[in-house]
Amino acid sequence: MLGGDLVAMWEVALSDGIYRIEFSHGTTTGKRIVHVNGKEVVRKDWMFKLVGKETFTVGEANIKATINIEAISGFSYEYSLDIDGKSLQTFIDNRAKTTKTWVLQVDGVDSRVVLEKDTMDVWCNGQKMETTGEFVDDGTETHFTVGEHDCCIKATSSGKKKSGIVHYFLLDGEKVAASTQ
């Protein structure tokens, strides 16, 4: 239970999952509590200073997250989240360029597959997958399995300089549409 001081909530999509960050701030006591996916990671029960920062880590890679607490007028406060030293929006925009995500059902279970384009690491439901890569006539293929299913991420040239390389996900040979998360 988070109590009545919940003032901000953010969702952050990382390769190993989507993290829900909740921040409770007692504006009379200065109390600060941070929950990540329901687990308390920061608790300060009494603070004289009502503004400032709270820093903690998120995800398997222990990515640095900072909540900024700023007074805007009188007893009103503004809360913002920085991830890996960038504003949340900049972090999201950068991840859109460096990762590709597919959300699909495998054997009736929702699955989230993330390709990290810079390292070619593949994650499925929070687990880094064992992959094998091979060069093919029109690009590369990265193979792995989910359950009993053959999965392949194909990287091919778009033929256009601006869009560069295009990534496709195949589950048992069938193309799966990309997701926005």
pLDDT tens-digit map of 119-135: 999 999 999 999 999 99
- pLDDT number for residue 178: 83
pLDDT at 181 over 90: no
Q: Which of 55, 51, 29 is nearest to 42 (CA)?
A: 55
- pLDDT number for residue 4: 64
- pLDDT number for residue 2: 44
Domain residue extents for the chain: 6-84, 99-176
Helix (H) or strand (E) holding 90: helix 88-98
- pLDDT number for residue 46: 83
- pLDDT confidence tier of residue 1, bands split at 50, 70 and 90: very low
Q: What is the pTM of this model?
A: 0.85
Q: Which residues pair with 52 in a beta bridge?
A: 69
pLDDT at 151 over 80: yes
Same fold, 6-84 and 99-176: yes
- Do residues 41 and 34 make contact, with C-beta atoms less than 8 angstroms apart? yes
What is the Cα–Cα distance from 112 to 148, expressed in whole angstroms? 16
CATH topology of domain 99-176: Lipocalin (2.40.128)
CATH code of domain 6-84? 2.40.128.180
Q: Which of 120, 107, 122 is nearest to 165 (CA)?
A: 120
Of 12-16, 31-35, 163-167, the range with the lowest mean pLDDT is: 163-167
- pLDDT number for residue 70: 93
Average of per-residue pLDDT across 11-33: 93
Q: Convert the pLDDT of each residue in 46-66 to its tens digit.
A: 877 888 999 999 999 999 999
